[in-house]
Amino acid sequence: VLNTVFLVQFQQNETPKTVAVKAFTDWAGYKWFPLALWTSGIQNFSIAGKERMSNEYSINRFLKRQGFPVPEIYHVSWKDKLLILEYLEGKSIDKVVQKVIRRGTISESEENLLRRVGGRIARVHRAGVALGDCKPENIILSNDGEIYHVDLEQASKAGNQVWDIAEFLYYSGLSAKPATPRVVIRRMSENFIKGYVDAGGSINNIRNVAAADYRRIFSPFLPLTTIEEVSKACEQVSA
């Protein structure tokens, strides 16, 4: 009953089609309201369904005009609070980082991908947008190798860019175990940071990720090794 995104498959001129349908019901407040309390003073979350839908639509259209790859919007129903969106064939960056952690090593291609993701987020930030919900699972590597941002309902032009970086880096190590080599977490973080800085992202944004307030928010959910290695990588960033 709390699901908000559905896949719809149908035939169009005898050709199979799949679209994503996103419903912005106020049930989602059960998800966002506790998070809004937990992150009070650091990150402000939109709770009402219409506000989240407005965020998703307006930021999607803005990023599209700026030349960023985002899912195409096929239909909008403000009355029913529904968006019908392009379904992207590919894999989330979350799957990539989980694979790295399970294996305990990171390949050159995976390092390159994380630098690309960091660079993409830096360019979004330079365009004046904070993504708001920048977990690795909300960034899709399409089958043709393009990077897409999805789930933009918390995005805004007045948001906290440091939160985007902190959420991506800390959540990248969510599945780490005590036996996971620390160097893996560090290398993932360093490659993302390099891509972010090389693309013109703010070094202060990176350094602020190591602040006590951000470590406090994520530490109940993450291994201590993740918190420590991400923080060190952010503290040691240089121009």
Model confidence over 83-101: pLDDT tens digits? 999 999 999 999 999 999 9
Question: Which residue, among 217, 115, 224, 231, has the nearest Cα to 177 in the 3D structure?
Answer: 224
Question: Which residue, among 24, 120, 118, has the nearest Cα to 63 in the 3D structure?
Answer: 120
Question: How far does Cα 166 stand from its chain's mean position?
Answer: 10
| Per-residue pLDDT tens digits for 158-214 | 899 999 999 999 999 988 988 899 999 999 999 999 999 999 999 999 999 999 988
**Are the CB atoms for 93 and 139 separated by under 8 Å?**
yes
| Residue ranges of E strands in the chain | 5-12, 15-23, 73-77, 82-86, 90-92, 139-142, 147-149
Sheet (strand 147-149) strand order: 90-92, 139-142, 147-149
Q: What value does the mean pLDDT take over residues 71-78?
A: 95
| Residue 48 scores a pLDDT above 50 | yes
Tell me the DSSP string of 54-67. Answer: HHHHHHHHHHHHTT
Helix (H, G, I), strand (E, B) or coil at 154: coil
Alpha-carbon torsion angle 142, 166, 119, 237, nearest 10: -150
Give pLDDT, residue 220.
84
145: left (phi over 0), alpha (psi -120 to 50) or beta: left
pTM: 0.89
Show contacts of 56-60: CB within 8 Å, 24+ apart: 56/22, 56/24, 56/83, 56/151, 56/152, 56/153, 56/155, 57/83, 59/129, 59/152, 59/155, 59/156, 59/157, 60/152
Residue 30 pLDDT class (50, 70, 90 cuts): low
Q: Which residue has the higher pLDDT, 75 or 37?
A: 75
